[in-house]
Amino acid sequence: MSLYPQARFLKSANAPGQFVEDVGAEVAFAGRSNAGKSSAINVIVNRRQFARTSKTPGRTQLVNFFHLRDGARIVDLPGYGYAKVASRMRDHWADLMADYFESRRSLKGLFLIVDIRRRLGDFDHQMLGFADTVGLPTHVLLTKADKLKRGQAATALLEVRRELGDATSVQNFSASNRHGEDEARARLEEFLEASE
């Protein structure tokens, strides 16, 4: 059974004017391209191919809004870190992200999705910076934890926690074996409910 039976794709936006109405609460998912954002959303919402079903070419640079239930949304932010992306696209991305973080009153939390094997990169720190600027609580999912041995995954978690300190919560996660799904969902709900 779906935990979010009403969950559905709402729309993709390429400019602030296209964002859905700024009411209720939403939590944004950000991360490097291919980090596992869509897979994490699918596990948390408990629907196969949910975040992916609406995928169309070029969508990587779009802000995707999903309805979770009345008054609650998930936002799949454009993936970043493609070396080949033209600088004009990178500028567009930075402008769109700055605009999104500064203007969204309904934005209640940020999930940062990081491949546990790569650790945090410059763009990840930039996202945490955006969140910090506007006082947004953040949660880091170190995903693809199934790709590491248990001990290595535990060490990675400790190291990232030490690196980030109290600024953000951090957990290990795997979309493949669903490790950490309850913890992730609980944190999502905390962010959404803090606003009610």
Ligand X SMILES: Nc1nc2c(ncn2[C@@H]2O[C@H](COP(=O)(O)OP(=O)(O)OP(=O)(O)O)[C@@H](O)[C@H]2O)c(=O)[nH]1
Applying CB under 6 A, the residues found at the interface with ligand X are: 31, 33-39, 60, 79, 143-144, 146-147, 174-176
Per the DSSP assignment, residues forming a β-bridge with 69 are 72
Could you give phi then psi for residue 30, rounded to 5 degrees?
A: -125, 160
Residue ranges binding Mg ion (CB under 5 A):
37-38
The minimum distance between CB 195 and ligand X, in angstroms, equals: 25
The minimum distance between CB 56 and ligand X, in angstroms, equals: 12
Which tokens in the block code for residue 159? 């190291």
175 binds, among ligand X, Mg ion, none (CB under 5 to 8 A by kind): ligand X
14 binds, among Mg ion, ligand X, none (CB under 5 to 8 A by kind): none
Whichever of 58 and 165 has its CB closer to ligand X, that residue is 58
132 binds, among Mg ion, ligand X, none (CB under 5 to 8 A by kind): none
Q: What is the rounded CA–CA span in Å between residue 93 and residue 9?
A: 21
Nearest residue to ligand X by CB is 79
Instruction: Tell which phi-psi region holds residue 26, choosing left (phi > 0), alpha (psi between -120 and 50) or beta.
Output: beta
- Which DSSP string do the residues of 15-51 spell out, in sequence order? SGGGSPPS-SEEEEEEEBTTSSHHHHHHHHHT-TTHH
142 binds, among Mg ion, ligand X, none (CB under 5 to 8 A by kind): none
Whichever of 24 and 170 has its CB closer to ligand X, that residue is 170
Whether the CB-CB separation of 179 and 145 falls below 8 Å is answered with yes
The minimum distance between CB 93 and ligand X, in angstroms, equals: 12
**Pick from 74, 79, 96: which is nearest to 16 by CA?**
96
The minimum distance between CB 64 and ligand X, in angstroms, equals: 9
147 binds, among ligand X, Mg ion, none (CB under 5 to 8 A by kind): ligand X
**Pick from 32, 34, 67: which is nearest to 50 by CA?**
67
